[in-house]
Amino acid sequence: MIAASRPVQRPPDARLLVITGDGEIAHAARSALADFLKPGDLVIANDAATLPASLHGVHLQSGAPIEVRLAGRSSLVREDLRFSAVVFGAGDWRTRTEDRPLPPPLARGDRLALGPLVATIDGVLGHQRLVALKFEGRADAVWAGIARQGRPIQYAYLDRALALWDVWTPIAALPVAFEPPSAGFTLDWRFLRELRRLGVEFATITLAAGISSAGDPALDARLPFDEPYRVAATTASEILQAKARGGRVVAVGTTVVRALEHSGGRSGEGVADQRIGKGTRLRVVDALLSGTHAPHESHYQVLRAFQGDDVLFRAGAALEASGYRTHEFGDSVLIFSTGPSAGTDTDRFVCDSVLPAKPVLAALA
């Protein structure tokens, strides 16, 4: 595939590869996405806004320049100022992450000066680049400091540096994602209006999407990190209603699959810590709109929960042969699962939950 090197969220010529439940493959314009939906379906997107998670500064013990990339967090609470982070040595995004130097040796208690921010290292997480850190100061001051000092995590394959507005999806709301939930780039308000006209419902979840790649095989093998999320009561209710009427739940992005499958579609907050891949029995999601992923990417594993490897192999060959564009600003794939999600049986769906009971049964009344 070809790297999409221009950061345009919705290029008019964006393409869509569709994999039907039967494993058939079709090519379409992404602008025709709604043609593949039916009245009664429910489209669910991740409305997390993206933080400027890349912070340049200095490791105070050594004086060495560093780049900190905030990568994970254990809750969505504003006062929670503890993050996991990937740390690089000198240099910037124009160098591929694979070629970036290691940071100076980091140890618990070390302090990092990041513009107006100061962070303390809470621990090194089994890799020289991966640390737990905590920002010092009051929450408002820390968020103001991140807003001022931070830049979006950048990509070496792009032709220019990204600004914050380049990485916020049109529906971006709570600022908790570390990299953009980029499947949401496909959404615009005209499309949401079209869904309504077609009788397709729309809802959102919020999941603090972590980093997609750290440029280091040992770290990348640990992706995705745990990701906190929230499912609103109204979204859980929409899911129950869609299941009850036989509509399909279409996730916009792998982060939505992770949140919904972790929660079982129920409302509340949680931390998605599971991996989704071959053999995962999908309980909630019936289809996924995602980017074009290659087999070595962690996101590709999610596709294996929807279709067998033979179908995915044929789809990959079709993407290559037809010159689809890849990465955050690339073309899209809409993949339907081979069978209905396990949750279609409403009774079992309601009982089969990982979260404390907080049912939204009114929707079924």
Binding site for another protein (CB under 8 A): 47, 49, 51-52, 76, 78, 139-140, 143-144, 146-148, 163-165, 168-175, 189, 192-193, 196, 203-204, 232-235
Residues 357 and 365: their CA atoms lie apart, in Å, by: 18
> Of 24 and 140, which CB lies nearer to another protein in the complex structure?
140
Contacts of 73-81 with CB under 8 Å at 24 or more apart are 73/176, 73/208, 73/228, 74/226, 74/228, 74/271, 75/228, 75/269, 75/271, 76/174, 76/176, 76/206, 76/208, 76/228, 76/229, 76/230, 76/269, 78/139, 78/143, 79/139, 81/134, 81/135, 81/139, 81/142
Nearest approach, Cβ of 56 to another protein (angstroms)? 16
> Of 88 and 185, which CB lies nearer to another protein in the complex structure?
185
Nearest approach, Cβ of 144 to another protein (angstroms)? 6
> Of 203 and 276, which CB lies nearer to another protein in the complex structure?
203
> Of 204 and 301, which CB lies nearer to another protein in the complex structure?
204
Nearest approach, Cβ of 223 to another protein (angstroms)? 25
Nearest approach, Cβ of 47 to another protein (angstroms)? 5
Residues 31 and 360: their CA atoms lie apart, in Å, by: 34
Nearest approach, Cβ of 232 to another protein (angstroms)? 5
> Of 133 and 171, which CB lies nearer to another protein in the complex structure?
171
Q: Which residues of 271-304 are buried (b: 16+ CB within 10 A; e: fewer)?
A: bbeeebeeebebbbbbbbbbbbbeeebbbbbbbb
Residues 20 and 224: their CA atoms lie apart, in Å, by: 27
Residues 24 and 100: their CA atoms lie apart, in Å, by: 41
> Of 149 and 338, which CB lies nearer to another protein in the complex structure?
149
Q: Which residues of 47-62 are buried (b: 16+ CB within 10 A; e: fewer)?
A: bbbbbbbbbbbebeee
> Of 116 and 123, which CB lies nearer to another protein in the complex structure?
116
Nearest approach, Cβ of 52 to another protein (angstroms)? 8
- Nearest in space to 33 (alpha carbons), one of 182, 195, 184: 195
Nearest approach, Cβ of 61 to another protein (angstroms)? 29
> Of 71 and 146, which CB lies nearer to another protein in the complex structure?
146
Residues 36 and 22: their CA atoms lie apart, in Å, by: 14
Hey, what amino acid is at 343? G
Nearest approach, Cβ of 111 to another protein (angstroms)? 23
